[in-house]
Structure 1
Amino acid sequence: MRAQRALEGIRAEEDAQDDDFTTITHLAQALGVRSSTLRFWEEEGLVRPERVTTLRARRYGPAAIRAARVVVALRAGGYGVPAVREVMASLDGLVGPADARRILRDRLDRLAARSVALLRAGTDLAAVVDATRETPVRPE
């Protein structure tokens, strides 16, 4: 089943017309990022545009556009480049979405644990502040 879906995806990309591709400028505008951001993501291996013409201009097809959208969403969610790279690699790999879900779930668990720790620290700080208010200051 997974192999069949992968083949269908490859066939769909092979059948893509020239108008299914976009330039770096148009994609950057559509995603609300800078062109330099897309170039950086390419350097980091997060997005893989095609290179065309003798100038090696970038051309973003359906797969690269999908990847860029995922990267935008992950970065907006606070994921750093290494974490995004791990998620993108898992989506490209044999394990696929199951591994990506594990990575995302692990991050949510870490964020939840940090939130609980911050709440506890806030409670402790509030107790200290209340205690200092109740203790009169003695003049020297």
Structure 2
Amino acid sequence: MTALLVVAVGAAVGAVLRALAERVQGAVLARALAQHGERWYLSPGWSTLVVNLVGTMLLGWAAGRYDVGQLGTTWLLALGTGVAGGLTTFSTLGVEIVDLARDRARARLALLVTTHVLLGLGCATIGYRLGTVV
């Protein structure tokens, strides 16, 4: 029961952080569009990338700390499954991919998928290596 509780609390924290990232993106995007007009690099989706990369790095760090015996199972569940799981969003990424495919924006679609996968793997690796530093 303790494991479920720490995952739930961690997921709540991650979900709130995710919602805050969306709000910040909305405010920044509205301001940028007002100043610069429509540009592809001002499109929604940046917060998805940021939260996915931060969450991936956090999970990598927690796994590294766990592997070197510096983080217990409860904390691994709270931070990895809970916070990182609540923060990251595969579903939003999926919708963004479908939207780009529907709009036939092939170059942006390829860039989005490649960026998420390559930077995600890089962040997981960096997080893990940071986590294993004793």
Pair in the same fold by TM > 0.5: no
More helix by share: 2
- Larger relative contact order (C-alpha < 8 A, sep ≥ 6)? 2
TM-score, normalised via structure 2 length: 0.29
More strand by share: 1
